[in-house]
Amino acid sequence: MEALYDLDFYKCKQENARLLRDGRLFEIDIENIIEELESMGRSEKRAFVNRLAVLIAHLLKWGYQPERRSKSRRNTIDTQRIDVAALLNDSPSLHHGIEERLSHAYVKARILAEPDTELDRETFPSTCPYEFEQIVDKSFFPEAVR
């Protein structure tokens, strides 16, 4: 099974799934399955932080560039909120450690907002100006900052 893992990752996963369904537990590649499960958890965290970063970046743009508010920006905020909610719905444990994830997302959000706004990232607060509950609240849109 180890050779199959190195040669054809997808086929290896399919074979392991078949062995599990057939109850042939002693034949599965347990080490690689464990590694994959752990990797999937890390991927979920990264996807959540990335989605949150995009959402926060658009909230920053909304607040720092009120003259450029548009349906497109509002729609991006709305769709990002839907995607964040879907990730939390699928993996509620992502709520644990939310402050740390929010902090990581905000660092990325400042970087993402900089080129679009043409504002230096130092213009934005050093820590996230929004509470997590505000970020995911579909009725929350930041006031103009100036």
Contact 140, 134 (CB under 8 A): yes
With a cut of 80, say whether residue 143 has pLDDT above it.
yes
Contact 140, 57 (CB under 8 A): no
pLDDT of residue 34: 85
Place 36 in a pLDDT band, splitting at 50, 70 and 90.
confident
Q: How far apart are CA 123 and CA 146, in angstroms?
A: 10
Spell out the domain ranges in the chain.
41-136
pLDDT tens string 53-111: 999 999 999 999 999 999 999 999 999 999 999 999 999 999 999 999 999 999 999 99
